[in-house]
Amino acid sequence: MSSGHVTDLMQTDVSYESLIRKAYHITRLTSVPSLMTAVLPYMENSQWMKIHKSLKLLVLSGEVLFISLWKSLHNLLPGTTILNLYGSTEVSGDCTYFDCCRLPQILDLELLSSVPIGVPLSNCEIALVGKLNEPNVGEIYVGGTCLMVGYLSEINHGHPYEADDFSHFRTGDFAKRLQSGDLILLGRKDRVVKVNGQLVALEEIENTLREHPAVNEAAATLYRTPNDVSHLVSYIVLKSTKVLSETDTSYVDESHNKELVASIKSWMVRKVPPAMVPSYYFIIDSLPTTSTGKVDYAMLPSLPSIARWGFGDARSYNSQLQMIKEAFSEALLVKEVKDQDDFFAMGGNSIAAAHAAHRLAIDMRLLYMFPSPEKLLNALLNKKDLIQSSVRHNTDSAKRVKLHGNIWSPSFGTTISLQSSGKFEEQLQVHTGVSVDNLPLKVNAHPPIRNIKGSNYESSGRHCPVTIVSHLSHTSVVTNADDSFRWISNTNLPAICCFSRSNRFMSEGKPNQNYVQKKCFYGGTQKGHMQELWKVSLNSCVDASSLIVFQDGRVYLFIGSHSHIFLCIDALSGLVQWEVMLGGRIECSAAITGDFSQVVVGCYKGKVYFLEYMSGNIIWSFQTDGEVKMQPVVDRDRNLIWCGSYDHFLYALDYKEHFCVYKISCGGSIYGSPSIDMVHKIIYVASTSGRVTAIALADAQFKVAWRYESGSPIFGSLCLDTHGNVICCRVDGHVNVLDSGGNVIWKAIVGGPIFAGACVSPALPSQVLICCRNGILYSFDMEAGTLLWEYESSDPITASAYIDEQICLASEQSSSCERLACICSCTGKVHVLRISSDIEGKRLNQPGDLERPLVQEFAVMNLPGDVFSSPVMLGGRIFVGCRDDYVHCLNVVF
């Protein structure tokens, strides 16, 4: 029968089916997926659309139901229930079912190419029989009343059920149990192979290949070399490909096919685990079939192919892979990393990712897209397709032009460089911060929950804190009943003021100037200890630092987490005042506007939110084109919030008129907060390209005063010393200090990467404290940059230090004044240090020194999770976020 007759017959059958449905008002239809695929083009015509509403239930069985087909059917039949059934003749047709209405929820957790076959029907028993160490993968065994007489087989040893309980039929199909408990079909027993020690379903590879827009049909096989090395091989039939004879090659477009195969390969890297990515790709005219119409896999190797591509030289590939694994190992502080190990599953975080990305000279975003060494290398080797997947297509995408081998986007002012750096044969350096998320932002802002009495509050002490106010030297101190801690109130502070990480301070009267209490506490012992007063759950990792606001005798804490939750907490009691759900993960600290009316915070979806201070209601928001990871900075003189983004831009947002008044590209993604010099009227901002940009604020028209190229990424916030010099901490361990004209005042270097900003406080007027990932806290002389002392914590530190400005200590052994400082290691250890403020004539501590050390450990406490949040320490109280999903309030007991 000719193809034309087949088409006519299909159209006749489809038309006849439509008439039947219209005449009989059919509400239930049972079909195989292949028939629905053939019917699909005719379901979009007006005649079908008039009658499809009568169909209430669509049952699909007998074949694998691809995700792409389900999506098409779901869009055309939004009111129809779609069921996917699995079974065979031996089990009376069907034994499992899956309601596709649950599929969107599962796809949020699982990466699937086909629809699950679900759970057993009533009176059916399903078990997976496989290896004991792989309980969720195995061959499907069916038992129960659905099993027809004559199809019984003994159960394999190790089956979860006893053989005497019921009989089972061995189907020969392999399946995997998902997190939801549903089964997903992997394929026939002879189509499940082992690659690099992992079971791989060839049918799943074929399903994923077919989902590529350019692929019409696909087949996958396993090829073993004489040395017993396994390679996955794929055979691809392209859509709209002209059929070629063996002698006619005039239509072969070599470059086009090579680019297409690179696109397909990158598609597979993103869709399936590394073990399922084929090593070789053959483009063929058509798949050979047997007499029964099935693919003849034995014939595939003998077919002539239009083109063939593989990974290339294995030694070069393995060498590059080893480089990536070494970078992962160094960043994660582990001895061994395997090809398929997930960077983040092994404990990686944004700081470790930044470290690895710097070592490999790649954009950090690539680690989130391709988190294993093998996936990352495969992506790097497919440069063109990677660019297309890394840059969001926007309204100005047509304006992108190619200059000197680079791709330039005028709308963002970013460059993607394709060049060899010597580390990889085909090294990719991506210098862009444009978001790759093409989905629309969904902000789920719930009404604020006010006065939630203890809903998220847990007291870790013997009882909840009871506050008693006592007046000591005109200073109100809040204490509990047993006087185990002291807390500085706001009697001697401005009526309204706020504190945040790295000793950032703002008051209603004197913005950007710190107010240091001269209250001294005389302790009789050198050592103290810490106790937990309260902790509040935020349902996910808390990497952000606290914002503490004093207002008319009340103290509030503002903080967010990875769960998108942003909270206002009573800092004295730990009671939640209100909460709001924002549109993305929150890692940055919040800020408060100059009039103390709005709290400002950014999220990973690129939005900067302005929330009503007292209620949490969203007043307005501003959308950037990349993640917002930095704490906003207040420019009170101009009613502005300055906020940077991963999209390379620094934005000036008017928080009273609700619009963006200015933006400037800073040459790289912005992680650290800018710093404003109120005397010289300059704002300084640094980026991951290593550039420091100074913007003059004196005129109504902002302009760049100067730029300084440091030569290495800057992730930490910039900091101003008491002379107005800006302190820049680079990821390569260098510290550069610049004056207001961009001139270098002094330089220093520490023993490891720096990811946090420096800490400067009037409480220690001559010192600059810098935390390093090698676990050491360094103190440098502010004037000359000489090293004063070191404190080794033995654990990595990626957060900033904080100096308690409300407590001054004096001991019996020394008449000099000492200050308390807090640092937090990545492993969850909180250190409180006593630091001498008298450094005149002192020298670097050495073993055997007779004089009192410049720094000594005062108290240590272990939190149950990793800490990447910078602490805030006020009057002996420490507020810090933790990856145990809580924000903790700790108290130093003298």
C-alpha torsion sign, points 447, 448, 452, 458? positive
Given a cut of 80, whether residue 863 has pLDDT beyond it is: yes
Q: End of a domain among 412, 431, 450?
A: 431
pLDDT, residue 122, reads: 85
- The residue ranges of DSSP E strands in 101-244, in sequence order, are 119-120, 124-129, 137-144, 168-177, 183-188, 192-195, 198-201, 215-224, 230-238
Q: Are residues 341 and 425 in the same domain?
A: yes
Per the structure block, which two tokens stand in for 601?
């915070």
The DSSP H or E segment spanning 549 is strand 547-551
Nearest to 268 by CA among 204, 191, 175, 345: 204
Distance between CA atoms of residues 479 and 572, nearest Å: 10
Given a cut of 90, whether residue 683 has pLDDT beyond it is: yes
- State the burial class of residue 357 (Cβ atoms within 10 Å of its Cβ: 0-12, 13-18, 19+): buried
Distance between CA atoms of residues 465 and 479, nearest Å: 8
Q: Are residues 637 and 559 in the same domain?
A: no
Q: Are 585 and 601 in contact (CB under 8 A)?
A: no
Q: Are residues 697 and 652 in the same domain?
A: no
Distance between CA atoms of residues 365 and 387, nearest Å: 12
pLDDT, residue 255, reads: 58
Q: Are residues 759 and 822 in the same domain?
A: no
Considering the domain boundaries, does residue 442 fall inside one? no
Secondary-structure breakdown of the chain: helix, strand, coil percentages, each rounded to the nearest 5: 20, 35, 45
Give the predicted TM-score (pTM) of the model.
Answer: 0.57
Residue type, 68: S
Torsion of CA 110, 116, 120, 121, to 10 degrees: 130
Q: End of a domain among 640, 665, 690?
A: 665
Rg (CA), the chain: 32
DSSP class of 583: S
Given a cut of 80, whether residue 9 has pLDDT beyond it is: no
Q: Are residues 108 and 207 in the same domain?
A: no
Helix boundaries (H) for 714-862: none
Q: Are residues 57 and 168 in the same domain?
A: yes
Considering the domain boundaries, does residue 455 fall inside one? no
Range of lowest pLDDT (196-205, 225-234, 247-256, 358-367) = 247-256
How many angstroms from the chain centroid is the CA of residue 65?
A: 31
Nearest to 89 by CA among 150, 177, 174: 150
Residue type, 255: S
Given a cut of 90, whether residue 508 has pLDDT beyond it is: no
pLDDT band at 624 (very low <50, low <70, confident <90, very high): very high
Establish how many alpha carbons lie within 13 A of residue 176's alpha carbon, considering only the half-sphere containing its beta carbon: 15
Q: How many residues does the chain have?
A: 894
CATH number at residue 283: 3.30.300.30
For tokens 């480089």, the residue is 323
Given a cut of 60, whether residue 174 has pLDDT beyond it is: yes
Bridge partner residues of 611 (DSSP) = 599, 618
Higher pLDDT residue, 143 or 775?
A: 775
Residues 414-433 have a mean pLDDT of 30
pLDDT, residue 886, reads: 95
pLDDT, residue 522, reads: 52
Residue type, 286: S
CATH number at residue 603: 2.40.10.480
Q: Are 526 and 811 in contact (CB under 8 A)?
A: yes
Distance between CA atoms of residues 872 and 881, nearest Å: 10
The model's pLDDT over 186-227, given as tens digits with 9 standing for 90+, comes to 777 667 776 765 667 788 888 888 888 888 888 888 876 554
pLDDT, residue 535, reads: 94
Distance between CA atoms of residues 193 and 174, nearest Å: 11
The model's pLDDT over 107-141, given as tens digits with 9 standing for 90+, comes to 877 777 789 999 998 888 888 887 666 678 888 88
The DSSP H or E segment spanning 43 is none
Bridge partner residues of 599 (DSSP) = 592, 611
Q: Collect all residues with Cβ–Cβ distance below 8 Å to 614 and sequence separation of at least 6.
A: none
Distance between CA atoms of residues 732 and 841, nearest Å: 31
Q: Are residues 527 and 621 in the same domain?
A: no
Considering the domain boundaries, does residue 670 fall inside one? no
Q: Provide the domain count of the chain.
A: 6
Q: Are 558 and 483 in contact (CB under 8 A)?
A: no
Per the structure block, which two tokens stand in for 279?
């090593």
Higher pLDDT residue, 35 or 831?
A: 831
Per the structure block, which two tokens stand in for 23?
């005449």
Q: Are 679 and 698 in contact (CB under 8 A)?
A: no
Higher pLDDT residue, 551 or 786?
A: 786
pLDDT, residue 456, reads: 36
Higher pLDDT residue, 653 or 419?
A: 653
Q: End of a domain among 728, 763, 797?
A: 797
The DSSP H or E segment spanning 37 is helix 33-39
Higher pLDDT residue, 829 or 437?
A: 829
The model's pLDDT over 39-53, given as tens digits with 9 standing for 90+, comes to 776 676 656 665 567
Q: Which long-range contacts (CB under 8 A, 24 or more apart) does 365-370 make?
A: 365/390, 365/430, 365/433, 365/436, 365/646, 366/390, 366/428, 366/430, 367/343, 368/344, 369/270, 369/436, 370/269, 370/270
Per the structure block, which two tokens stand in for 551?
């207002």
Distance between CA atoms of residues 62 and 28, nearest Å: 17
Residue 470 CB neighbour total at 10 angstroms: 11
DSSP class of 452: B
Q: Are residues 521 and 599 in the same domain?
A: no
State the residue range of the domain holding 294.
Answer: 203-309
The model's pLDDT over 750-788, given as tens digits with 9 standing for 90+, comes to 999 999 999 999 889 899 999 999 999 999 999 999 999
Report the DSSP pairing between strands 872-874 and 877-881.
antiparallel
Q: Are residues 185 and 61 in the same domain?
A: yes
The DSSP H or E segment spanning 416 is strand 414-418
Higher pLDDT residue, 875 or 258?
A: 875
Establish how many alpha carbons lie within 13 A of residue 729's alpha carbon, considering only the half-sphere containing its beta carbon: 32
pLDDT, residue 718, reads: 94
In the chain, the N- to C-terminal Cα span, in Å, equals 94
Strand order in the sheet with 406-409: 401-403, 406-409, 414-418, 428-431
String of DSSP letters for 335-400: S---TT--TTTTT--HHHHHHHHHHHTS-THHHHHS-SHHHHHHHHHSHHHHHHHHS---TTGGG-
Q: Are residues 413 and 498 in the same domain?
A: no
Q: Are 246 and 305 in contact (CB under 8 A)?
A: no
Q: Are residues 229 and 140 in the same domain?
A: no
Q: What is the chain's mean pLDDT, rounded?
A: 75
Residues 561-588 have a mean pLDDT of 93
Phi, psi of 319 (to 5 degrees): -65, -45
Considering the domain boundaries, does residue 451 fall inside one? no
CATH number at residue 698: 2.40.128.630
Considering the domain boundaries, does residue 454 fall inside one? no
Considering the domain boundaries, does residue 297 fall inside one? yes
Distance between CA atoms of residues 729 and 797, nearest Å: 14
Range of lowest pLDDT (494-508, 710-724, 765-779, 792-806) = 494-508
Q: Are residues 567 and 604 in the same domain?
A: no
Given a cut of 60, whether residue 406 has pLDDT beyond it is: no
pLDDT, residue 437, reads: 32
pLDDT, residue 17, reads: 54
pLDDT, residue 767, reads: 93
Distance between CA atoms of residues 210 and 164, nearest Å: 44
The model's pLDDT over 315-338, given as tens digits with 9 standing for 90+, comes to 456 677 888 888 898 888 888 888
Q: Are 224 and 230 in contact (CB under 8 A)?
A: yes
pLDDT, residue 412, reads: 27
Bridge partner residues of 289 (DSSP) = 295
Given a cut of 50, whether residue 805 has pLDDT beyond it is: yes
Torsion of CA 537, 540, 543, 549, to 10 degrees: -30
Q: Are 86 and 95 in contact (CB under 8 A)?
A: yes
Given a cut of 60, whether residue 15 has pLDDT beyond it is: no
Given a cut of 60, whether residue 254 has pLDDT beyond it is: no
Considering the domain boundaries, does residue 453 fall inside one? no
Choose the most confident range, by mean pLDDT, from 239-248, 343-352, 713-722. 713-722
Considering the domain boundaries, does residue 441 fall inside one? no
pLDDT, residue 811, reads: 58
pLDDT, residue 579, reads: 93
